[in-house]
């Protein structure tokens, strides 16, 4: 007699390989740790070799599978070379990014090019290099683009950042449609403010911290752990029918 109760899809990722960009610290390192704890052999990529090597070593000390790759994702040639070497990656977490907040009327071309170059151009061509390899080898895969709640709403003093993250959300949807026939799923994660080395200085401003907490309906800033579960879910078979969407981890910020 057939069992009428289906089995829950596994969140385990044993036997898979993942590349996480911007993984030397903060959110990227947390995502790499989460994937490794789920069984992935993870490659941590970042510009600073010493930082990313130390991060990978820390994961290995925990008994996890982790390698380091010194890589500037703005160098498309280096990215393509990394994707072409060794066995193909099954999972890409496009996490590397930056922000240069300030009034719209004071925004400079230099800051615009910096933010858009890393948050959009590098994300686009890193995903392209990843997908090209998988398509050519008929290999299924998962792309997770690290977006932001600011990819869904606007915010004063963050015009460049909002523009870049809205672009990531549109790119995610378009890529998902085009890559679905190749069994490559594409999603984004859109966190609220997460306490990381990049964001911590903002919260030294008491007014900014108070305003931020008032907008997050659950009443607290995000923690790295809040995103770790999201990245494992989207990478796993539990999300087998999930593509072209954004998992918003924002404590309710965008609900109103």
Residues noted as catalytic = 161
What are the Cα distances from residue 38, in Å, to 19, 35, 75, 210?
Answer: 14, 5, 30, 36
Which class for 197: exposed (0-12), middle (13-18), buried (19 or more C-beta within 10 A)?
Answer: exposed
d(CA 31, CA 95): 9
Residue 80: CB atoms within 10 A of its CB come to 17
Residue from 115, 83, 89, 93 nearest 102 by CA: 115
Give the number of other CB atoms < 10 A from CB of residue 218. 13
Residue 248 φ then ψ, to 5°: -90, 115
Give the distance from CA 204 to its chain's centroid: 25
d(CA 19, CA 45): 7
Q: Which residues are within 8 A (CB) of 69 and not within 5 positions of it... i.e. 6 or more apart?
A: 19, 43, 44, 45, 52, 82
């Amino acid at each position: 007699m057939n069992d009428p109760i289906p089995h829950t899809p596994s969140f385990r990722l044993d036997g898979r390989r993942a590349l996480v960009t911007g993984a030397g610290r903060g959110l990227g390192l947390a995502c790499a740790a989460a994937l490794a704890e789920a069984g992935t052999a993870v490659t941590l990529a970042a510009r600073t070799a010493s930082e990313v090597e130390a991060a990978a070593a820390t994961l290995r000390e925990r008994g996890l599978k982790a390698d380091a790759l010194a890589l500037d994702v703005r160098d498309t040639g280096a990215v393509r070379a990394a994707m072409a070497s060794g066995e193909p990656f099954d999972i890409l977490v496009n996490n590397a990014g930056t922000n240069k907040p300030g009034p719209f009327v004071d925004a400079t071309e230099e800051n615009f090019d910096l933010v858009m170059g890393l948050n959009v151009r590098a994300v686009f061509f890193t995903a392209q290099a990843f997908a090209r390899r998988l398509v050519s080898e008929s290999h299924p895969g998962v792309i997770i683009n690290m977006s932001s709640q600011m990819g869904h709403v606007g915010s004063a003093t963050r015009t460049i950042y909002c523009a870049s993250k809205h672009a990531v959300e549109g790119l995610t949807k378009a890529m998902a449609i085009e890559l679905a026939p190749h069994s490559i799923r594409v999603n984004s994660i859109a966190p609220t403010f997460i306490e990381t080395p990049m964001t911590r200085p903002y919260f030294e401003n008491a007014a900014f911290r108070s305003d931020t907490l008032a907008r997050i309906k659950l009443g607290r800033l995000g923690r790295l752990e809040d995103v770790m579960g999201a990245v494992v879910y989207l990478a796993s078979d539990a999300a087998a029918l999930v593509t072209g969407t954004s998992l918003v981890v924002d404590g309710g910020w965008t609900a109103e």
